């Protein structure tokens, strides 16, 4: 995708809107209301080439325009995001529980990406991979746009060795260590991922490290909610999980019961320097 014609502002890039076609002012007003109309009239909306949209602009279906979004009211996540490592190419952070990796839905400013862009002054910072909002631990970012694809491909191709720690109940009759392998599907609009018949696409090596319920989880694939689904399938859901095995309604501002899941260690061969990189979280589980 080509670079946005508007720069990152206060840690946030512009919103990209694909048009249905016709007068732009009328369409944006119909879809997003008076605030969008006001932005057009104030000259704050541009097309893909950076030309300012005005009240007479007409664009075909499939064209895109860009504008800065109005931020929703968000409950501040009351935890720091320590930086474990930084150089010219990457930033490695220790993401806390409850902080989303990047803007999505109602989580915009209260995300690891925006907070780090603001604190480090790196407008092109981008995540090389993602962690669930409720999962804490090691998270890698690239510092410049031209590096993003190389690191993201590394994670997408499964060339990164990851280790997680989790807390859960202990069942004395459960034989561990073991491999859990099945087919996991996460459908849009559904909170839970589900296991379905078919060719397996998810695999996790699960070990019990201590009798008080500390587990080491080594995923060999990276499906959405994979570790949470696999632990719940064994009858030992991860402590503090509001989705598995059952959905629990937790208020947005309740930070009292974190999911006891930590991305504790990652290792990979750096695609730029060739060095073997190992990063370990300093957070407790």
- pLDDT recorded at residue 177: 98
Say if residue 1's pLDDT is above 70: no
- pLDDT recorded at residue 71: 86
Per-residue pLDDT tens over the stretch 50-94: 999 999 999 999 999 999 989 888 999 999 999 999 999 999 999
Three-state DSSP class for 203? strand
Contact 239, 212 (CB under 8 A): no
Average pLDDT of the segment spanning 129-155: 97
- pLDDT recorded at residue 38: 97
- Among this protein's residues, is 132 annotated catalytic? yes
Annotated catalytic residue, options 49, 132, 212, 254: 132
Measured between alpha carbons, how far is 85 from 279 in angstroms, rounded to an integer? 8
pTM score: 0.91
Measured between alpha carbons, how far is 21 from 64 in angstroms, rounded to an integer? 10
- pLDDT recorded at residue 265: 98
């Amino acid at each position: 995708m080509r670079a946005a014609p508007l720069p990152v502002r206060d840690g946030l890039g512009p919103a990209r809107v694909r048009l249905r076609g016709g007068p732009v002012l009328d369409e944006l007003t119909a879809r997003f209301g008076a605030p969008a109309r006001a932005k057009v009239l104030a000259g704050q909306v541009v097309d893909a080439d950076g030309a300012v949209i005005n009240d007479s602009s007409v664009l075909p279906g499939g064209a895109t325009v860009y504008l800065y979004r109005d931020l929703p009211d968000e409950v501040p996540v009351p935890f720091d995001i320590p930086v474990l490592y930084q150089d010219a190419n990457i930033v490695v952070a220790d993401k806390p529980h409850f902080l989303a990796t990047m803007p999505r839905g109602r989580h915009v400013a209260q995300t690891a990406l925006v907070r780090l862009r603001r604190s480090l002054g790196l407008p092109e910072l981008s995540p090389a991979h993602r962690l669930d909002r409720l999962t804490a631990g090691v998270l890698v970012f690239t510092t410049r746009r031209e590096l993003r694809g190389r690191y993201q491909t590394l994670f997408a191709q499964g060339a990164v060795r990851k280790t997680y720690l989790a807390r859960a109940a202990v069942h004395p009759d459960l034989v561990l260590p073991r491999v859990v392998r099945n087919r996991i599907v996460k459908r849009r609009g559904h909170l839970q991922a589900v296991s379905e018949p078919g060719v397996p696409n998810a695999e996790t090596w699960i070990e019990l490290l201590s009798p008080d319920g500390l587990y080491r989880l080594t995923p060999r694939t990276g499906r959405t909610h994979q570790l949470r689904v696999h632990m719940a399938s064994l009858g030992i859901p991860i402590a503090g999980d509001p989705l598995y095995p059952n959905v629990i309604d937790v208020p947005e501002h309740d930070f009292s019961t974190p999911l006891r899941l930590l991305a504790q260690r990652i290792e990979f061969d750096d695609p730029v320097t060739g060095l073997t990189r190992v990063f370990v979280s300093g957070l407790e589980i």
